[in-house]
Structure 1
Amino acid sequence: MPALPSSIIDPLWHQFSRLIPPLIDTHPLRCHRPRISDRIIFDKLIAVLVLGASYLKISDSTCSATTRRARRDEWITAGIFHKLEQICLESYDRIIGLALDNISVDGCIVKAPCGGEIAGRSPVDRGKQGTKRSLMVDGNGIPLGCVIAGANRHDSILLVPTLKTLSRFGDHLPGRITVHLDAGYDSKKTRSLLSELGYDWVISAKGQPLQAGARWVVERTNSWPTRGFKKLGICTERRGRVVEAFIALANAVIIIRRLIREAWITYCWDTRSTRRP
């Protein structure tokens, strides 16, 4: 049984395969073993992301753990995962439309038992190793950008790097953008930084009862990678570039899933399913 339904994994693979650079065979005699199919590697990486299994545990006669890691690193070097995420965002914006006038940012801490480049002492897990994801979403909860760091980094420190990921949209940003933040960002320094960047803000006040406002969408989106992708719920990768690649792949899945759901209630086409996705 596949880790994701075919309605999601097939369009993802269709676009992903177009981004894979052509293979240049440098073997002098061209007598090496046949190259494992890219589709097999892609399906295995999806299984690793969704199920959280180790590379060795899901190895079989079709593909070894070493081959999977090597191909993954090739694709990371080529920037395919981030290009896929960008294409999914552009497709969603073209078909449904991104609500970029209201964005929300919040951090999420997950366990990182293996440590690594982006691990730090977690303040919510008795000082054990953890990783923090600073996530930015639009007004409907579509992930726009993510910055990772050690769990001991404060949310406000990661705010500016997270907001800078909006540069991926170039000149297509609205004239006025309102940033919605929780009480952890309630400080004069944060307000000064937002003023310098030209953003409006809605920040929950410290010491007051819970003020969800329009910020609840980022809380919901933060739960999707943690609950739906076990590889991100417990981060066992030690290298930052690998974690960023898996986050980009997870965001692409989330965006495609939301695109299919929103398009079903917005548009009609001949082959549309009668059952709501």
Structure 2
Amino acid sequence: MTKGTQPPWAVPDELWARIQPLLPVVPRRADHPGRKRLEDRKVLSGILFVLYTGISWKHLPQELGFGSGMTCWRRLRDWHAAGVWQHLHELLLAELHAAGRLDWSKAVIDSSHVRALKGGPKTGPSPVDRGKTGSKHHVIADGNGIPLALSLTGGNRNDVTQLMPLLRSIPPVRGRRGRPRRRPKVLYADRGYDHDKYRRLLWATGVKPMIAHRGSGHGSGLGVHRWVIEQTIALLHWFGRLRIRWEIRDDIHEAFMALGAAIICLRRLAR
């Protein structure tokens, strides 16, 4: 980190300006004032520190002013339950749409395994990791690789079972005149999604399926479109806390996923 540059976990003004109005207001009780509540922006920096570095909550360095790991964990939990991360993601998608940065002509879907060292809900024996307990990150992105929706399942869940739920979970994206957008024209996917039933379901929603067939050789041409989702997943796993699932609670890991997706969107918007 060069002199004068901010560390990535320092909350930039452009992020804080968007997230502050979304945070729930917690009034201080006059009858039990207790210790003054730590500023939300400092706590958010602590959450980002854990997201970027992958450090455990108990080892969060308090000398940096983030508060305790438990304080940051509680805020992450409460803000996720209040829908803050989802609302932030939708807000940034709307800004990207208004700026003409979203490519609705196509979308790409894929998943990636992550090891779940402590088990918990939405885990299972991973078929690509010698049966060790793991989870899957399912991601659908637009033609530019901007994440539109994400989900978490057990490592043994078949990819195709998440195709329609993930497509339906794309929020209505506003930002321009007319009806909000939430459906791409074409959906690209690899052989793991090769089922005629789901092709028919996609056609029924007005989305053209472009799914590789099992047994087909490489060089089908789909890789020209599918590389963007591999890039998106790589960006998601660039966050240390998302390369391995340390959380037993699935909602905490999903909170990190949503926050990571929002940061990717913010970076695209700042380019």
Quick check: TM above 0.5?
Answer: yes
Q: Cα gap change, 1:198/1:235 in structure 2, threshold over 3 Å: closer, same or farther?
A: same
The answer to whether the 8 A contact 1:139-1:214 is kept is yes
Which amino acid in 1 is paired with 2:192? G
Deviation at 1:142, TM superposition (A): 0.4
Partner SS for 2:150: strand
Encode CA deviations 1:72-104: one digit per residue, 9 max, x unaligned.
222122211111111111111112331112011
The answer to whether the 8 A contact 1:120-1:129 is kept is yes
The answer to whether the 8 A contact 1:107-1:155 is kept is yes
State the distance in 1 between where 2:242 and 2:40 align: 23
The answer to whether the 8 A contact 1:177-1:199 is kept is yes
The 5 Å alignment of 1:190-205 reads 190-205=198-213
The 5 Å alignment of 1:1-277 reads 3-4=7-8, 9-30=12-33, 32-61=34-63, 62=65, 63-169=67-173, 171-173=179-181, 177-210=185-218, 211=220, 212-226=223-237, 228-261=238-271
Which amino acid in 2 is paired with 1:100? W
Give unmatched runs, 5+ long, in structure 1.
Answer: 262-277
Q: Cα gap change, 1:190/1:251 in structure 2, threshold over 3 Å: closer, same or farther?
A: same
The answer to whether the 8 A contact 1:3-1:47 is kept is no
Deviation at 1:258, TM superposition (A): 1.4
State the distance in 1 between where 2:244 and 2:182 align: 36
Encode CA deviations 1:32-83: one digit per residue, 9 max, x unaligned.
1111111111001001111101111114153112212222222122211111
State the distance in 2 between where 1:99 and 1:189 align: 26
| Residue matched to 1:264 | none
Q: Cα gap change, 1:199/1:259 in structure 2, threshold over 3 Å: closer, same or farther?
A: same
Deviation at 1:260, TM superposition (A): 1.6
Identical-residue share of aligned pairs (%): 33
Deviation at 1:106, TM superposition (A): 0.7
Which amino acid in 2 is paired with 1:220? Q
The answer to whether the 8 A contact 1:103-1:178 is kept is yes
State the distance in 2 between where 1:3 and 1:118 align: 32
State the distance in 1 between where 2:242 and 2:128 align: 17
Deviation at 1:256, TM superposition (A): 1.2
Q: Which moved more, 1:14-23 or 1:102-111?
A: 14-23
Calculate the aligned-residue CA RMSD, in Å: 2.0
Deviation at 1:175, TM superposition (A): 7.9
Encode CA deviations 1:124-168: one digit per residue, 9 max, x unaligned.
111111111110000111000011100100100010110001243
| Residue matched to 1:267 | none
Which amino acid in 2 is paired with 1:114? K
Deviation at 1:176, TM superposition (A): 6.7
The answer to whether the 8 A contact 2:104-2:143 is kept is yes
State the distance in 1 between where 2:173 and 2:183 align: 13
Partner SS for 1:221: helix
State the distance in 2 between where 1:106 and 1:185 align: 9
State the distance in 1 between where 2:250 and 2:201 align: 26
The answer to whether the 8 A contact 2:9-2:45 is kept is no
Q: Cα gap change, 1:260/1:5 in structure 2, threshold over 3 Å: closer, same or farther?
A: farther
The answer to whether the 8 A contact 2:9-2:52 is kept is no
